[in-house]
Each structure stands twice: as structure tokens, then as C-alpha cells.
Amino acid sequence: MEQTTGGPGRRIGRRSLIIGGAAAAGIGTAGVLARDELASLWWRVPGVEKSRVEGAVDYRGARWVAASSANWRRADRPDDYSIDMVIIHVTQGSFDSAVQVFQDPGHGAASHYIVRDDGHVTQMIRELDVAFHAGNRAYNERSVGIEHAGFVDRPQDFTDAMYAASARLTAGICRRYEIPVDREHIIGHVEVPGTDHTDPGPHWDWERYMRLVRRASTAPTSTPTPTPS
């Protein structure tokens, strides 16, 4: 669940600078707004967020299934928060159970995407928005979270199709936000400061995964073929 402490990855968006500058001019040079106030000031002005289409996905091969609005926070990334990280998770359960809990308002957490063992990708939260997936507020604000259906102690759950589909998904996210394809910016949930999670676990093949992400990053972009839902 999202924590309340601030941290790295936060920046003032273009809209914040414009609106914040005008507000500061109105109150005189002695009235200096705090960084957090500037970063969120645009949110109180109607009509400034990006247009949205219901059911739209950020990854063209994905199927949209909405998570409960209690498990994420509406935002306008990367204008209000820069995105510089992808965080890899394992559900510790089946694909269907992960979808179910992310739709449960009492769960308090959800990731942007879930990848199934056959390579099917479901998107449950827009990349624009802050998903409560990392257990660290600053990391939530700066990252996109990808769940993988399965268990950390079952290497057979991490199939060829899952690795390939997830790598294409991560490569696309890195292209969109100019994220370096390296292990400083593509990390496991276990690497998030303050987390008590161990996923993706010792059986997740990072060397193989990063090789696939790099390969997908340099391949010509094309529309992925969705797997049956």
C-alpha cells in the first residue's frame, strides 16, 4: 500500500510551473510556495489534465480491465511526476485472483499491468496514474508496475511466452519515457526501499529478461498480437 513519505523522482511539471509562477506573482516575492504545493497546484484548476478515453490502453496488445479506484491515484504523469522506472512483481497467485484483488477496493494495492503465463497482457491502471504497487510512495509516483502471474518458488510459472511478452511491454514503457534499459531503472519489488516483499524471487532470470528487453528495445515497433483472454 502507498506510504505517505516523499522522496526521489518528484519534479515540477510544465503546467505546475506556469500556474505556480502566476500564483507566486500574485502574492509578491515574499510569498514563496513550497515545492509540493507547486507540484500539485495545477490539480486544483479544472481542464488541465490530459484527455482520456474510457477503456483505452497504453500498450496496444493489452486488454483493459479496470482496477478499483481505491487502489490507485489519479495523476497526469509524466507532467506532474517523471517516470524513470519499471518495477517487476510476481502475484503469488493465479492471474484470475490477481485481477480480482486489484478490483477489490479493500485491497489497497494494484499494478498497472498483469502478464499471464501464455503472454496475455491485461492493463488495469493507466500509466498516467499512480498505482499503489511498490509499498513506497516516491517509487509509486516514478514507476510503472508489472505483475506476473505465478509464485516465486515455482520457476515453471515463468514461461517463455511470459518473458517475451513482459520484455516487449517493458521495452515499450522505456521508449515512451526515455528510461535507460538497465538494472538501475528496471528493478524487482524486493529492491524497493522499505518493502517487505521478496518478488520476483530467486527463480526470475534477470539476465535473460534484460537481454530480451534490450532486444525488444532495438527492434522495429509493431502492434503485438493479443493472446486470447
Beta-bridged to residue 147, according to DSSP, are 114
Angle at 92 between CA 87 and CA 98, to 5 degrees: 80
Query: What global pTM score does this model have?
Result: 0.78
pLDDT tens for the chain, residues 1 to 229: 443 333 444 443 433 333 333 333 343 433 444 444 444 444 434 445 678 899 999 999 999 999 999 999 999 999 999 999 999 999 999 999 999 999 999 999 999 999 999 999 999 999 999 999 999 999 999 999 999 999 999 999 999 999 999 999 999 999 999 999 999 999 999 999 999 999 999 999 999 999 999 999 998 765 444 444 4
> What is the Cα–Cα distance from 80 to 40, expressed in whole angstroms?
7
